C-alpha cells in the first residue's frame, strides 16, 4: 500500500492512500462510499498525477490513480456474532422491513454517531454499504446490536464505543 503525506490548504498534513480505479468505477461518490464508508466525503478524494496532488476534474477512468484520505475516526467495524445471523432493516426498529439477513461473521462498517435506542431499549446502529443476497448494493441499513444483555456483534457495540 503506497501512501503520500501532503499538506492541505490550511497546512494540516494528511496521509492519503493510493487507490487505482477499477473497471466499472465511474464516480467519486462510488469510491467514497466503498473506500471511506461515507459517500458525502467524495470531495476529499484527490488525484495523483505527475507526482503531484490534484483535484479530480475529469471522468474517472480505469487505472487512474486517486488519493484516498483516512477513514473518519467516527467509523468503526463489527462482525455479526449471532449464530442465526441478524436482520438488516430499513430503519431502527422492529416495525421497519427486513431488507437483508446477514449471516454470522458478516463484517459491517458503522458510524458511532448513529447508535440509537428504541422505546424497548434495543440498541440499533446504522450500517454502511452492503450487498444483499441478490447482490444488490445498499448504502444504508439498520441492525439491532444489543437487546437487554444479549450482544449480537464482535466486538460488542455499546452506546458511543465498540468494546471487547
Domains and CATH numbers, the chain: 3-68 (no CATH), 75-163 (2.30.30)
* Euclidean distance between CA atoms 20 and 151, whole angstroms: 38
Q: What rounded mean pLDDT belongs to the chain?
A: 85
Residue 158 has pLDDT above 90, yes or no: no
**Which is nearest to 69 in space by CA: 8, 148, 159?**
8
As a whole number, mean pLDDT of residues 153-158 equals: 87
Residue 164 has pLDDT above 90, yes or no: no
Split at pLDDT 50, 70, 90, the class of 133 is low
pTM value is 0.66
Split at pLDDT 50, 70, 90, the class of 148 is confident
**Hey, which of 6-10, 54-58, 77-81, 109-113 has the most confident mean pLDDT?**
77-81
At residue 46, the pLDDT reads 92
Residue 116 has pLDDT above 70, yes or no: yes
Q: What is the dihedral of CA 58, 63, 66, 71, to 10 degrees?
A: 130
Amino acid at each position: 500500500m503506497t501512501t503520500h503525506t501532503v499538506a492541505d490548504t490550511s497546512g494540516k498534513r494528511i496521509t492519503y492512500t493510493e487507490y487505482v480505479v477499477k473497471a466499472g468505477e465511474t464516480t467519486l461518490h462510488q469510491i467514497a462510499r466503498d473506500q471511506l464508508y461515507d459517500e458525502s466525503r467524495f470531495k476529499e478524494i484527490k488525484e495523483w498525477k505527475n507526482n503531484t496532488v490534484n483535484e479530480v476534474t475529469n471522468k474517472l477512468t480505469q487505472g487512474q490513480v486517486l488519493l484516498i484520505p483516512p477513514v473518519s475516526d467516527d467509523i468503526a467495524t463489527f462482525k455479526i456474532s449471532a449464530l442465526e445471523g441478524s436482520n438488516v432493516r430499513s430503519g431502527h426498529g422492529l416495525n421497519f422491513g427486513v431488507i437483508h439477513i446477514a449471516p454470522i461473521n458478516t463484517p459491517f462498517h458503522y458510524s458511532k454517531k448513529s447508535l440509537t435506542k428504541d422505546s424497548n431499549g434495543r440498541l440499533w446502529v446504522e450500517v454502511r454499504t452492503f450487498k444483499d443476497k441478490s447482490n444488490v448494493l445498499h448504502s444504508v441499513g439498520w441492525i439491532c446490536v444489543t437487546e437487554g444483555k444479549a450482544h449480537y456483534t464482535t466486538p460488542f457495540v455499546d452506546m458511543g464505543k465498540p468494546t471487547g
